[in-house]
Amino acid sequence: MDVLEQAMYLHGVGSEFTKYTGEHVYFSHDTRKQALRCCDIDVSDIVALSAHNFEHDIAKWLKPVTDVSLVKEKDFRLSVRVPESDLDMLIGLEIPSLQINLQQKLIPDVLGDYRYNDIRYVEVGLHLPSIPIGYHNAKLTFKGEQFPTELWIVPSEAFGADDEDKRVGLSIQLYSLNEKGNLGIGDFGDLKQLIQQSRGQLDYILLNPLHELFEDQPERASPYSPNHRCFLNPLYINLVEAVALATTDTGTQLSRIVEEASQTIKRASFIDYSEVSKIKYEVLGLLYRDYLTWNVERKERAYNEFLSYAVVAASEINEHELTQSHFYQWLAHKQLYDCQTMCERVGMGIGLINDLAVGCANDGEEFREYRHLFANGANVGAPPDPWAEDGQDWGLPALDTKHLSLDNYAYFRRLIKSNMKGVGGLRIDHVMAIRRLWWCFTQEDGHRTGCYMYYPFEHLLSILLIESQLNNVMLIGEDLGIVPEEVRAALKESGIFSNILFYFEKDHLGQFVNPITYRTESLLMIANHDVPPFYGWWESRDIELRYEYSLINDQKKDELLQERQLEIAKLCTWIHQHSGNQVTALCSPELVYEVLLKILAKSNARLLTVQLDDLDEATVPVNMPGTNLEFPNWRRKLNHSVEDIFNKKLELLKEVKELRTLNG
């Protein structure tokens, strides 16, 4: 392997992949070189490349431990690298926070080896006492020299992996809740109403990403292209609850403003983010001015609450007084925690499940704060598939595969911990990203291309498992699309739930599969935000919409309608096979949906997720992939209030809950 090829390998540049068609594809040498250039590596400088390779390959063998040491909870064995001639030497370990100080010999079993300058270095084990799950600063003493490392004690499974109950939950787009009196957008107050209306029939509520968006650009509405993923979107703050915290005079004034706004705001089918943002941020700004007048004791309580909610660096915090943005975060987290507490009070086994987007916007606060961790000129996306023959560029900046490890992965740890606050579960969008991501970039000749880049999988998975157990939060990995086999195996072994979409569960002949074959540790849904709601799918409304918005021509529309009729026929056959019910394309979507849901309630999947859009009988999707401004994405509201939906569909949910219990 030459120096350049080795640099590509060590930096995680992929060499090949299997396309969705089964075709084996090799990346060109020029493509792979450009991937390295995006990581600020001069591919023409042999000396620099050699230094890079030494740092990422040989150097780690020349000292007993690296900056981070992974230790599996099930065996408590620390891997240590030493010259073979020193195997009989004593080694010391000190963990000050746990008052551990020991000296012992290494386990002679060799786990790996490396030869450098005629010296054979071997990787062996060091037995540790029982240590709590988490991160622990430690020092190894070897031959009179000290070597610092951070011990990560990694659990074998995520939190909740041993829960064998079959559960029922609801997936919602929080902004779409259409409650009387809200300010044009669903918020945490509306979420509380939904929790109350569930009346014991739900175990969890799966949310859209709640990440902070752009206050100064309110029409940038996608929760999957956020400003900062470590913070919540202040538009989800319920102003009635927030204003109740104000001092008397200000509270009266602000209550009047909120009441007037709720009466005058436009009641439309789609959210007007500019109008909503103007009203909400005006009130929140006035509320912050009121906060500045609070007495020291009250400010101190808010300050301490904020520290318990948010995961922020000490350098970002004013001593004992919140900045305006941190004040908003305090309010948002306070209300989110209240929602989770309410979930627990009404008997939900899990409660809220948060959703972590795969990336952040390239002009947002998160990107600016961590600019040094990102590659240059590379976005993340997806390789060619049946829905995008040229592949997809999601417009999200790519993290450098090696820079991610800086400060012992502090950035990724903060990201995961932040999104576990105030919830019982975390769904990780495109979970394959902890193993590999498709990078999109422009080659020197101007050609747009891409390749897979590989990340430190074992370390990122370890962080997920540690934070899951420390925060009592279960994990769901969205693994739709091309998934490396090692990722599937690791998710299963780690007790991380996979994600199943009914529409996509087909055999090699294109027929819907028997639900008894679904993976047990999975979250099953009929649809999600990237595909049409069931009523729209059954009536081909999504195809008609694409035509109405000039996204497809007449010929493509006719082709898609024919394909949909074939899919509907397959579904009718499948329903008859698994329930005995005779349904046809002429049946109402309501009838077919209820039969379908009851069949899926008997499946092996431990988590069955009902989409609120389907209970609302929605036909218009909230998002149309492949569009930006061509379609009003992330704006569509529900047709009915939560109360009306539950009044009509509560009996169906009760039946589904009973079927889950009977088939548990």
Let me know whether 114 and 252 are in one domain.
Answer: no
Q: Which ranges of 382-523 does DSSP label H, i.e. alpha helix?
A: 406-418, 457-471, 485-493
Residues 6+ apart with CB under 8 A from 502: 512, 524, 525, 526, 527, 596, 600
Average pLDDT over residues 118-141: 96
- The three-state secondary structure class of 79 is strand
66 lies in some domain: no
- Measuring CA to CA, which residue among 460, 415, 417 is closest to residue 435? 460
Cα end-to-end span (Å), the chain: 54
Q: Which of 154, 189, 221 is the last residue of a domain?
A: 154
Give the three-state DSSP class for 253.
Answer: helix
CA pair distance 457, 518, nearest whole angstrom: 26
**106 or 469, which is more confident?**
469
Number of domains in the chain: 3
Q: Does 644 score more than 90 pLDDT? A: yes
Q: Which two tokens stand for residue 442?
A: 């422009």
Whether residues 126 and 195 fall in one domain? no
Q: What is the pLDDT of residue 4?
A: 97
Cα(135)–Cα(98) distance, integer angstroms = 11
Tell me: do 104 and 229 sit in the same domain: no
Helix (H) or strand (E) holding 649, with range, is helix 642-662
Cβ-count burial 522-549 (b if 16+ within 10 Å, e if not):
bbbbbbbbebbbbbbbbbbbbbebbbee
Beta bridge partners of 448: 442
CB 96 within 8 A of CB 137: yes
The answer to whether residue 376 sits within a structural domain is: no
User: Does pLDDT of 304 surpass 70?
Assistant: yes
Query: Residue 108 has what pLDDT?
Result: 85
pLDDT at site 387: 62
Q: Over the stretch 306-349, which tens digit does the pLDDT of each residue have?
A: 988 888 766 677 777 899 999 999 999 999 999 999 999 999 99
- Report the alpha-carbon distance of residue 160 to residue 579 in Å, rounded: 32
250 and 343 fall within a common domain: yes
Asked if residue 603 and residue 523 are part of one domain, the reply reads yes
d(CA 208, CA 523): 15
42 in the same domain as 181: no
CATH of the domain at 244: 3.20.20.80
Q: What is the token pair recorded at 332?
A: 């948002």
> Are residues 349 and 250 located together in one domain of the fold?
yes
Chain mean position to CA 7: 30
Q: What local confidence, expressed as pLDDT, does residue 414 receive?
A: 97
Among 648, 590, 622, smallest CA distance to 186 is for: 622
Determine the pLDDT at residue 594: 98
Whole-angstrom distance, CA of residue 528 vs CA of residue 544: 19
CATH number at residue 112: 2.60.40
**Sheet of 498-501, strand order:** 474-477, 425-428, 351-356, 204-206, 167-171, 607-611, 522-525, 498-501
Coil/strand/helix, residue 621: coil
- Asked if residue 551 is part of any domain, the answer here is no
CA separation for the pair 100, 323 (Å, rounded): 40
* pLDDT mean over 187-215: 97
d(CA 158, CA 465): 5
Q: Which residues pair with 442 in a beta bridge?
A: 448
- 38 and 176 fall within a common domain: no
Range 466-480 average pLDDT: 97
Is 522 in a helix, a strand, or coil? strand
Give the mean pLDDT of 220-248: 97
* pLDDT for residue 310: 81
Alpha carbon 446 to chain centroid, angstroms: 33
Nearest partner of 338 among 355, 324, 351, 354, judged by Cα: 351
Residue 316 lies in a domain: yes
Choosing from 108, 124, 154, the residue where a domain stops is: 154
State how far Cα 502 lies from the chain centre: 20
The identity of residue 83, as a single letter, is P
- Interstrand relation of 607-611 and 522-525 (parallel, antiparallel or unpaired): parallel
324 is a domain residue? yes
Provide the pLDDT confidence category of residue 126 given band limits of 50, 70 and 90: very high
Segments of 143-286 assigned E as strands: 145-154, 167-171, 204-206, 211-212, 228-232
Q: What is the DSSP code string of 319-375? A: TTS--HHHHHHHHHHHHHHHHHHHHHHTT-SSEEEEEE-S---TTSHHHHHTGGGEE
> Do residues 213 and 227 touch, judged by C-beta distance below 8 A?
yes
Is residue 214 domain-shared with residue 307, that is, in the same domain?
Answer: yes
Domain, as residue range, for 138: 74-154
Residues 417 and 335 placed together within one structural domain of the fold? yes
Residues 263, 148, single domain; the answer is: no
Query: Residue 373 falls within a domain, yes or no?
Result: no
Residue 533 has pLDDT above 70, yes or no: yes
Query: Tell me: the pLDDT tens digits for 337-393?
Result: 999 999 999 999 999 999 999 999 999 999 999 999 999 999 999 997 766 667 789
Residue 525 and residue 507: Cα distance in Å, rounded?
18
Percent of the chain scoring above 70 in pLDDT: 99
Last-in-domain residue among 111, 131, 154: 154
Least confident of 103-117, 166-180, 222-236, 423-437: 103-117
Q: Is the pLDDT of residue 443 over 90?
A: no
Torsion of CA 169, 173, 175, 179, to 10 degrees: -50
pLDDT of residue 314: 62
555-566 pLDDT per residue, tens: 999 999 999 999
pLDDT on residue 315: 65
Q: What is the pLDDT of the chain when averaged over all its residues?
A: 94
Q: Is residue 527 part of a domain?
A: yes
Query: Would you say residue 387 lies in a domain?
Result: no
Quick one: pLDDT at residue 518?
95
Query: Residue 650: what pLDDT?
Result: 95
- Kindly state whether residues 286 and 356 are assigned to the same domain: yes
As given in the structure block, the two tokens for residue 39 are: 């990581």
